[in-house]
Each structure stands twice: as C-alpha cells, then as structure tokens.
Structure 1
Amino acid sequence: MESVSSPPLSRVAVCGGTHGNEWTGVYMVREMLRRGAERFGSASVTAVLSNPPAVDTCRRYVDMDLNRCFTSSLLSSTVTESSPYELRRAQELNAQLGPKGSPQAVDLLCDLHNTTSNMGLTLIFYSSDPLPLHILKYIQGKMTSVPVRAIQVDVSASDAYSLESVGKHGFSIEAGPQPNGVVRADIYNMVKEAWELTLEWIQLFNSGSTFEGGEVEVYRTVTLVDYPRDPTNDEITAAIHPQLQDQDFKLLREGDPMFLTFSGETLKHKGDELHPFFINECAYYEKKIAFHLGRKVKVTLLPLKVHKV
C-alpha cells in the first residue's frame, strides 16, 4: 500500500496564552517553564508564553487578536514602536519559532486554547497535512473518556493566520467549556493528556514506527452565522436558543431552533443540515459570530512513517 513519509520531529514547541484569558494553556506552559528545558526521546520541547501582557491583565489581547497576526503579509510588514503590540509580538514569535515557511522553523508547533463553547477537546489544523491528522487519529484511539474532534481550515499557507502555522507542522487545541480567566482541573487534565499523547506519538514516529492509514472525520466550516441585529443600531436582538446552547457538533436540521429573541420569538434554522460549533463563544461577539456551521467529512489517511534524513 502506498505510504507517505516525513523527516523526524526534532524541534517541538508548545504555546499557551496566545489569548491572555485562556488559562489552561497559560498554566500548562508555566508549569513546563518551571520544570525547565525538556527532551522527549530525540525531540527537544520549547514552551512559550505567547502574550505575556495580555496574560498579566487577564485580557484576550492588548491591541488586536494575536492569533490573527501570522499571515505572511503581516509577518513581513514594517513595524515600529507605535505598531499594535500583537503585531510586534507576532514577528518576535516568528523569529523565535520560525521563520514561517523556512527550513529553520520548528518541526511541530502546538498552540493551546480554551473556548467558552461546549466543544470538549477539539484539534484545529490547516489543509490536509497528514501528520497532525495522524496525531488526531492516535489521540482519538487513546482518549476514550471524552470525544476528540477536529476542525480543518482550508486556506493557503501564506494566508494561514494563527500561531501554529509558523511551524512546519502545527495544530491548535481548543478545550471547553471554560470561562475566561478561570482554570478548571478537568479541562486542564484533558488538554494535558492530549499533549502527553502527542509527545508519545512523536517518540514513536521518530523511532521508526509506521502508523497505519485509515479514515478520520473532520469538520469543515461552510458559513458563519451572526446574531440577529437591530438595523438601526446594530445591537443584537436575540440570544442562542436554549435548545441549541451547548449542542456543539450536533447536527442542526431544518426547523431546529437557533435563536430566542429578547421579545420571546423563536428563530429557526433554514437551509442545509450542518453541524454548529463555537456556539456562543464569548470572544466572537466582537467578530459578529454566533456560531460556525460546518460539514462533517471523512478524510482518508495513507500510512505514515519517518523519513530519515
């Protein structure tokens, strides 16, 4: 059977606090930094607190969303002391962990996030890079106590906007529900287990194990849904309907309730049957997103093995 290969993963990075009020990643990275430099087999692991000023003030960001600052055009733009902090910080992180798209970039970058949505453990990655898909399959096979899902974002490498795109391979972990500025032991331990399984997978991969092919399910965003708004002042006029709240990844069918207006009217879904996620995510109010609607698809994986350099 045809297979694919990839060079060993010798330099690995894990980041937390890209959003300063998402505290699972913050405290995981702080614990790693407290322990000092670590090696896992042939791989060295670098832990990075991505946005220290935002962490210190328990805010998502200082000037702008850091996790939207890693497109190739923004990373190559001219910055000055008056530039937004996150734009300057993105270029610092790119110099430390990249440069993006270069042979010097870390081999694998994992960025840890929390969501206020009821998404459990969700991996997010770009395009169809087989390596993070195999990590996903491995984690799914080992973590049976919680559902492990994946969102695939189909954009070009240069347009990929989030921190994990700086690595040769990368993915982010979204874990929730967790309020901003709070650390929950159950969510923390869920993410910690997923990260430890990632390290376990890396050791197996680097030592020459071949990972069998197969299929994995991923969700691909089809559209973004905004809250109903008052056309005169743009204020929202409804909240997520109680029957939709916390139902991330559950199929939304024609006629299912979506919103409950503040005057008491139920607004129902019209159109294709799709899967909602990031339902009522706190940080997305400013982005005018009530939830994402995506399609669940199966992706075929070829066997994967290390390619010794």
Structure 2
Amino acid sequence: MEHVSFPALSRVAICGGTHGNEMSGVWIVREMQKQQVDKVGSVSITAVISNPRAVEACKRYTETDLNRCFTDALLSAPITDTTPYEVRRAQELNAHLGPKGSQEGMDLVCDLHNTTANMGLCIMSYTLDWISLHIYKHIQRKITSASVRLICLDMTLPEAYSLDSMGKHGFSIEIGPQPNGVVRADIFNLMKEAVDQTIDWVQRFNSGSTFEGGEVEAYALEKSIDYPRDPETKEITAIIHPQLQDRDFSVLQPGDPIFLSLSGETVKYEGKELHPFFVNECAYYEKKIAFHLARKITLTVPSINVKRD
C-alpha cells in the first residue's frame, strides 16, 4: 500500500455562515469566538463568520452566492462601486485565510453548512485530497449516531470555487435536514461533534500517528435534474414526489416516481441506476436543481503520516 507524508497542519480555519441562514455553523463559530478557542494542543484555530452581512439578515447571501466567489478571476478582480458585497468579502477572506494556492494559506479550511435535504452528515470535497479523506474516515468511525457519507463534487471543474479551497487542504461539512434560519439541537450537536473530531484527528496527525490506508466508499456527482417546467413561462409544473422526498442516497431506478405534477400526474425517472442527494434543497430552486444524482464509487486511500524535518 502506498504511503504519503504531509507537513504538520498547524493552522486550521473553522468557517460558518458562508450561507447566512445555515445556522448550525454560525452558532458553532460564535461559541468558539465567545470561548476564545484559538488553540487546541498543536493546532492554531481561526474561527470565522464568513458572510456577516448575510448572517445579520438571515439570508443565504445579500447579492451573490459567496460560496461561488473563490475563483482566481473573482479573487483578483478590481473592486468598483458595482462589485457585489460577496465578491469583496471573498477577497477579504482570501487575504485572511489564503492567498489561495499559496504556502501562506491555512493548512486546513473546514466550512460548515446546513441543508434542508435529508442527507445526514456529509463530507464534501472537490478534490481527492488524502488529508480530507482520512478525516472523513475518522469521523465515520467515531460518529455512530448518524449516517456519515463522502461526496465528491464536480472534479471536472478547472478550479474549485468554494471557500474551503482557500486552504492547502479543505472540505465542507454538510448536515441536514434543517430549515433555513433555524437551529435544531440534534443537527447542531452532530456538527459540533464532527468539528471536534476533525480537530482531534489533526492533533493525532501532528503528534506523529500513522493512519492506515484502505478503501473508502464515496458518492461522485454525475448530473443534476431540474424540475419539470412550462416551456413558455419556465414556471415549475411538478414537485418532488412523496416517494422520493427524504430518500437521499437511496437507489433511484428507471420507472421510480420522482415528480408529482400540480394536476396529480406522476413523472417517472428515466435513466440508469444512480443515487439522488440534495433532494428538494430549498436553496437550489433558484439554481434550477431539484436534486443531484451520484454514482457510488470506491476510492483507494494511501496510509499517511506527518512529515518530519
């Protein structure tokens, strides 16, 4: 089995409120700031409210989605009077946590998100990053009160546009279901446990522990499905079918009901067997996404440990 060494992860950023109405991360970061949690063992912690204006307004964003603003083009764009607040904030965060792609950037960025979909606890990444995958393995082993899954997002993108791409290593923690603007104790506690286990793993890694490799099951994004729409008005004409609602990561087979038209007719799935996730996610209506579809894959992860000078 392959073995890989990485430098110690001495600086970790925990970010909440990238979407201002996803409240678990907001509350966790605020509590970390209140308790002045800036160092845990060998790990320096930076707790950040990513989008303070959106958090104050309890909105996903004020002008544009902050979690799509971390491309090289937007991070280097000149600031003008018409620049959206979130682009300005992305550049501020790049200066604070990055610069993106540099040796000065945070060693690890963990971004906290909630979904209205019934997805349990998900670790989400745009890259096959061995550090992130080992943290996922650790969280999955330690947390037994909920389903813990790994989602590999669109790896064909020329670059990741999300906040977690600010660090040398990074991932998102996505937990649901939780309504926007609401804190649920079970979801909050689950996220806090995932954050605590992340920091625990980093400390173990820095102390010299070797983490054995092996196979990891993951869900790889394949495509997105929009709602049925009126060809002229583009208005939605059908909603998620009750038999699909809340069944994220189940096997979707040809002929299974996926939509129910407003007049009561069932729309059935046509395609190969895949796994739906982000089913009926509130924030994705504007993105014209009813749900994503993923294929289940197996990844081979090498053993890793800290690189000593």
**TM-score bracket, shorter-length normalisation:** over 0.9
Aligned residue for 2:198, secondary structure, equals: helix
The answer for unaligned runs of 5 or more in structure 2 is none
Alignment correspondent of 1:228: 228
Partners of 1:51 and 1:259 in 2: CA distance: 34
Partners of 1:223 and 1:187 in 2: CA distance: 27
1:106 aligns with 2:106: yes
Aligned residue for 2:70, secondary structure, equals: coil
Partners of 2:259 and 2:297 in 1: CA distance: 26
Residue by residue over 1:259-291, the C-alpha shift from the partner in whole angstroms, topping out at 9 and shown as x without a partner, is: 000011101111110000000000000000000
Aligned residue for 2:258, secondary structure, equals: strand
1:7 aligns with 2:17: no
Compared CA separation, residues 99 and 194, structure 1 to 2 (3 A): same
Alignment correspondent of 2:194: 194
Shift of 1:36: 1.1
Partners of 1:38 and 1:104 in 2: CA distance: 18
Shift of 1:37: 4.0
Aligned residue for 2:53, secondary structure, equals: helix
C-alpha contact (below 8 Å) 1:245/1:279 kept by paired residues: yes
The letter of the residue matching 2:185 is A
Alignment correspondent of 1:308: 308
The letter of the residue matching 2:239 is A
Aligned residue for 1:251, secondary structure, equals: coil
Shift of 1:157: 8.1
Identity of aligned residues (%): 63
Alignment correspondent of 2:116: 116
Partners of 2:262 and 2:2 in 1: CA distance: 57
Alignment correspondent of 1:33: 33
Aligned residue for 1:90, secondary structure, equals: helix
Q: Following superposition of structure 1 onto structure 2, how do residues 183-222 of structure 1 map, counting pairs within 5 Å?
A: 183-222=183-222
Residue by residue over 1:215-269, the C-alpha shift from the partner in whole angstroms, topping out at 9 and shown as x without a partner, is: 1111111110000000110000000000000000001001100000001110111
Q: Following superposition of structure 1 onto structure 2, how do residues 143-162 of structure 1 map, counting pairs within 5 Å?
A: 143-155=143-155, 159-162=159-162
Partners of 1:12 and 1:276 in 2: CA distance: 32
Alignment correspondent of 1:19: 19
The answer for unaligned runs of 5 or more in structure 1 is none
1:292 aligns with 2:289: no
Shift of 1:74: 1.1
Shift of 1:80: 1.9
Shift of 1:38: 2.3
The letter of the residue matching 1:23 is M
Q: Following superposition of structure 1 onto structure 2, how do residues 76-95 of structure 1 map, counting pairs within 5 Å?
A: 76-95=76-95
TM-score with structure 1 length normalisation? 0.98
Shift of 1:156: 6.5
C-alpha contact (below 8 Å) 1:61/1:86 kept by paired residues: yes
1:169 aligns with 2:175: no
TM-score with structure 2 length normalisation? 0.98
Residue by residue over 1:194-234, the C-alpha shift from the partner in whole angstroms, topping out at 9 and shown as x without a partner, is: 11011110010000000011111111111100000001100
Shift of 1:155: 3.2
RMSD: 1.1
Aligned residue for 2:219, secondary structure, equals: strand
Partners of 1:23 and 1:251 in 2: CA distance: 30
C-alpha contact (below 8 Å) 1:3/1:303 kept by paired residues: yes
Partners of 1:65 and 1:51 in 2: CA distance: 10
**Which runs of structure 1 show a deviation greater than 3 angstroms over 4 or more consecutive aligned residues?**
154-158
Alignment correspondent of 1:249: 249
Partners of 2:17 and 2:247 in 1: CA distance: 26
